Structure 1
């Protein structure tokens, strides 16, 4: 099948984003254990012993919906420190979402997320020629909402009762987006945060 988003490795100074594969199971287990991230009820981080199922589900999304899941590898240590993906893929309208993002506690609020978003957004806008990239998060995840806003994304609205969680709790999703005309300013902001020349 010809897909809009093909597997690609995105290389930065701090991180490498690699297409997610079954051989990343142990690395994801280790990353999720740093901070016991699965205990945060508003995230989708694999609990101990569930990384394989997490990967298989992500690869199924790839096959059925055109999603593109990645592992996030810290460049300096070569360790897997999280995961992210393109999802909500809409080739006809050249739109995609960046979601399912989580990081080991030790790299949260570091250059890892900033550079990962720079790599994903640059690929989306400059290679895939998207006209808009969405980012969504649980209404209750205030840290994630603040981080998305700091990227330069604009809040579009709140989808109430948007999803039913594994525990049956209804989730309100906050929707942010960056549109094509905003990308140069967002790119400059991210490069500034990383201490790089514009």
Structure 2
């Protein structure tokens, strides 16, 4: 579990499916690799994420707002390669009310701190749909470096072939990015 005074990131479990489905909204899935519109689909999504954790290639979390003790979304590390000290951070979504709020920066800080200070990663990457400008702006606000566009990176549900924008933060960037988080936090208190 990762936490600060506002957010807890708890390892995803099957019993979280109902709360995640409550937080669900159709717009969340516009640029995601899945589309969730039923509780059964959410249960399958959760089961798949847990299976990846059991294979030791992903760490899926539920995002809990501590003030209300409420699950408001999910995020995960995946494509974890401990030998190469790299991973990807993504599959992040939040209840609509908490989008564009303090939640994303708090979650990303906790996970990035874990990656660079505990796991000693040398690279954490992010990919987002080229059409998802909101996500690109959020990743750029973190201080991640845009590395380019991966053409025809994936086929989404419904058959759309997407391009993905690739970003990264490397271990040499972390101290500067960490200071950026502290500065933003002090500005909004």
Fold match by TM threshold 0.5: yes
**What is the aligned length?**
185
Q: Do 2:60 and 2:76's aligned partners in 1 also have CA atoms closer than 8 Å?
A: yes
Q: Provide Cα deviations, 1:52-82, integer angstroms capped at 9, x if missing partner.
A: 0110111122223520000001111111110
Tell me the secondary structure at the aligned position of residue 102 of structure 1. Answer: strand
Q: Structure 1 153/94 Cα, relative in aligned 2: closer, same or farther at 3 Å?
A: same
What secondary structure sits across from 1:195 in the alignment? helix
**What is the aligned counterpart of 1:81 among 49, 53, 72?**
72
Alignment counterpart, residue 41 of structure 1, candidates 30, 41, 47: 30
Equivalent position of 1:6 in the other structure: none
- Residues 21, 42 of structure 2: 8 Å contact kept: yes
Contact 1:160 1:172 survives alignment (8 Å): yes
Q: Deviations over 1:98-145 (max 9, x none)?
A: 010001111111111101000000000000000011011111110000
Residue of structure 2 equivalent to 1:185: 176
CA contact (8 A) 1:115 1:194 kept: no
| TM-score, with length taken from structure 1 | 0.89
- Deviation of 1:193 after TM superposition, in Å, equals 1.5
Question: What is the root-mean-square deviation of aligned Cα atoms in Å?
Answer: 1.4
Secondary structure in structure 1 of the residue aligned to 2:120 = coil
Q: Distance in 1 between matches of 2:54 and 2:112?
A: 22
Structure 1 unaligned runs (5+)?
1-8
Distance 1:111 1:184, change over 3 A: same
Q: Which residue of 1 aligns with 2:8?
A: 16
Determine the C-alpha separation between the residues in 1 that align with 2:98 and 2:184. Answer: 16
Query: In the alignment, is the contact (CA less than 8 A) between 2:35 and 2:157 conserved in 1?
Result: no
Give TM-score scaled by structure 2 length.
Answer: 0.93
Query: What CA distance in whole angstroms lies between the structure 1 residues aligned with 2:70 and 2:36?
Result: 17
Which residue is equivalent to 1:168?
Answer: 159
Unaligned runs of 5+ in 2: none
CA deviation vs aligned residue, 1:121-171 (integer Å, no higher than 9, x gap): 000000000001101111111000000000000001111101111211111
